Amino acid sequence: MAPRVLVSDKLSTTAVQIFKDRGVEVDYLPDVGKDKEKLLEIIGQYDGLAIRSATKVTEKVIAAAGRLRVIGRAGIGVDNVDIPSASRKGIIVMNTPFGNSITTAEHAIAMMFGLARQLPAADASTQAGKWEKNRFMGIEITGKTLGIIGCGNIGSIVATRAVGLKMKVIAYDPFLSTDRAAHLGVEKVELDELFHRADFITLHTPLTDKTRGVIDADAIAMMKRGVRIINCARGGLVVEADLVEGLKSGKVAGAAIDVFETEPAVDSPLFGMENVICTPHLGASTQEAQENVALQVAEQMADYLIEGAVSNALNMPSISAEEAPILTPFVKLAEILGSFAGQVTESPIQEIEILYDGITAGMNTKALTSAAVAGLLKPLVQTVNMVSAPIMAKERGIRLSEVRRDKTGVFDGYIKVTVTTEKQTRSIAGTCFQDGKPRFIQIKGINMEAEVGRYMLYTTNRDTPGVIGQLGTAFGKNGVNIANFQLGRDEQGGNAIALLYLDEPLSDEFLAEVRALAGIGQAKPLVFDV
Ligand SMILES: NC(=O)c1ccc[n+]([C@@H]2O[C@H](COP(=O)([O-])OP(=O)(O)OC[C@H]3O[C@@H](n4cnc5c(N)ncnc54)[C@H](O)[C@@H]3O)[C@@H](O)[C@H]2O)c1
Ligand SMILES: O=C(O)CC[C@@H](O)C(=O)O
């Protein structure tokens, strides 16, 4: 039986043609994405779902999607898809990471010009017959400082365009290496410095726990008077109420917003403000970009549904059917080890070494390494997947190496990920037991044996009496249950670590309390996709 795909958002018809040409049955119902009930009613009939941003693929939709095997996002951001739920059901989620990058970068540049010369307001006034020449005094772009927050695919394109416009470009991106910054012609700075120096600020990060609200009242307070802010990335990066206050006070001279805290944005405090330009999430809306992403998503989904080939999957390694049963638990392990390293690493990574010991040395280490690097980059680079992870690492100037060796210790095999940053070298090792479940077996050279939980806390301390007691008391006082508590140290009185497997995530307040405990060095909350 031919696989069947539902296209539930407005997509170029190129996609429909490709599906047909490849022998995939396709229903093009572009309004269904906005009709939750209808989507729930019909999703069970499809093997594939092709979407843009209007369709919300929630846990409920996934639960109703009895035979769904692949969700294809014609675009970059997948925040409208519940990936953990899809993964749990074995549904691949794929996107088209580069198809609309140029177009979105161009929208940000257009927004910058629009703000500098108040083009929309000047147009409305002129067409109303007012000829208000004195009202619309603009500013020049040349020589101004553009601050880019997030210098990945789109941010890098914005950077090179702005350099061409003779702007001074500064960028904040924890994953931007000094070499890559130099190559792009931008100055890498810390976030506070960017706020202090930029005349224009443009956002190009994913929406994550770290980036949510990156432009809030505190950030605005640090900015130059007269700063202009552009958001063509994701709503939620800017706290809209704080932006409104900044605009009212005159601290912010203008804002150009393509993406909103709530979409579709039919009502916003920003609407009607004179120095604000709003567009309805148009960043990717050009004929070229829509052709690119439609073509790409249809090819990728057809490849998978017909041939089982996987590309640009966000939740699935490329693994053949024969090796899958043995490899899959180790792929998950590698991703978890990378994710651990990624979550505790705060400065640019220079080098990643992955050691395969014992049985792991004979496995498909390419898939394992990709999984480890994807796990490592994922906290910062939303679009990374097993296919793109090594390329992304290379583009960021990260050296990647594998070492394979025969069994050396008590375990049949294990994987060790060592990450070197500008500041330090850190390693984390793990293995899978017979039950197929991953375990951490060594952190920073200190042996331990810890289960992997969804919410964990990693702490470091000096090995002195009382520290652990304080930690336990603090958890008890705050009513947070510890499912598992593992300790390790290098020597008596030396460096000690603890890994706590928690039943729930820690609040910011409680985390601050833990960090303030006497003897605690680092306290890092970790989240794993398990
Ligand atoms: N408006 C639109 O229609 C539209 C179109 C395409 C993409 N987007 C959005 O644009 C954003 C960027 O897309 P991309 O393709 O460039 O993604 P990308 O993954 O290539 O780049 C994101 C960059 O953000 C950086 N980053 C992550 N966390 C950061 C932090 N805390 N502070 C600073 N930088 C951080 C990463 O290191 C990475 O370099 C995404 O949110 C995407 O969904 C919007
Ligand atoms: O599909 C769109 O119009 C928006 C896409 C954009 O937000 C993306 O993340 O790729």
Distance CA 331, CA 313 (A): 14
Residues 271, 133: one domain? yes
Give residue 398's pLDDT: 92
Task: Among 415, 443, 471, give the residue marking a domain's end.
Answer: 443
Residue 155 lies in a domain: yes
ipTM of the modeled complex: 0.99
Which one of the ligands is nearest to 95 CA?
Answer: 2
Decide if 107 is catalytic.
no
Specify the ligand 2 atom closest to the Cα of 234: 7
Is position 449 within any domain? Answer: no
The three-state secondary structure class of 432 is strand
Structural domain includes residue 284: no
Q: Is 263 marked active-site?
A: yes
Which of 161, 281, 396, 439 is catalytic? The answer is 281
Ligand 2 proximity of 284 Cβ (cutoff 6 Å): yes
Domain boundary among 231, 257, 278: 278
Q: Are 367 and 434 in the same domain?
A: yes
> Is 509 within the bounds of a domain?
yes
- CA atoms in the 13 A half-sphere facing the CB of 182: 4
Kindly state whether residues 335 and 482 are assigned to the same domain: no
The count of structural domains within the chain is 4
Alpha helix segments (H runs only) across 89-150: 101-116, 119-127
Domain co-membership, 136 together with 209: yes
In a domain, 93, yes or no: yes
For residue 313, what pLDDT is reported?
86
Please give the full DSSP string across 239-257, using - where no structure is assigned: -HHHHHHHHHHTSEEEEEE
User: Residue holding tokens 């939980």?
Assistant: 453
What radius of gyration do the chain's Cα atoms show?
A: 25
Q: Whose CA is nearest to atom 39 of ligand 1?
A: 152
Indicate if ligand 2 lies below 6 Å from the C-beta of 52: yes
Distance 52 CA to ligand 1 centre (A): 17
Residue 167 belongs to what H/E stretch? none
75 lines ligand 2 (CB under 6 A): yes
- With a CB cutoff of 8 Å and minimum separation 6, the contacts of 180 are 151, 395, 396, 397
**Does 345 map to a domain?**
yes
Distance from Cα 457 to the centre of ligand 2, integer Å: 34
* Pocket of ligand 2 contains residue 153 by CB under 6 Å: no
Examine the domain organization and report whether 115 and 232 are in the same domain.
yes
Note whether 192 and 135 are same-domain residues: yes
Which stretches within 282-385 are classed as H helix?
A: 287-302, 324-344, 365-377
Sheet holding 446-451: strands in order across? 399-405, 349-358, 413-421, 425-432, 438-443, 446-451
Pair 203, 347 in one domain:
no
Residues with CB under 6 A from ligand 1: 76-77, 100-101, 104, 149-155, 172-175, 204-206, 208, 210-211, 232-234, 258-259, 281, 283-284, 380-383
CATH of the domain at 384: 3.30.1330.90
d(CA 249, CA 227): 12
Q: What is the CATH number of the domain that holds 44?
A: 3.40.50.720
345 and 491 within one domain: no
Question: What is the domain extent for residue 382?
Answer: 317-443
Q: Is 281 a catalytic residue?
A: yes
Return the number of other C-beta atoms located less than 10 Å from residue 359's C-beta.
17
- Give domain status of residue 450, yes or no: no
Answer left, alpha or beta for residue 215, where phi above 0 means left and psi between -120 and 50 means alpha.
beta
Give the Å distance between the CA of 59 and the centre of ligand 1.
24
92/111 same-domain check: no
The ligand placed nearest to the CA atom of residue 395 is 1
- Looking at the structure, do residues 461 and 408 belong to the same domain, yes or no? no
pLDDT along the chain (530 residues), means of 10: 96 96 97 96 98 96 94 95 80 92 98 98 97 96 98 97 98 93 97 98 94 98 98 98 98 98 95 96 96 96 83 72 75 95 90 96 90 89 68 85 93 96 92 90 92 94 86 89 89 88 91 89 91
CA of 8 to the centre of ligand 2 (A): 14
Strand ranges for 109-179 from DSSP E: 145-149, 168-172
In a domain, 326, yes or no: yes
**Residues 83 and 151 placed together within one structural domain of the fold:** no
- Does ligand 2 have an atom closer than 6 angstroms to the CB of 453? no
Cα of 102 to ligand 2 centre, how many Å?
A: 12
Q: How far apart are CA 528 and CA 250, in angstroms?
A: 43
Tell whether 294 and 250 lie within a shared domain.
no
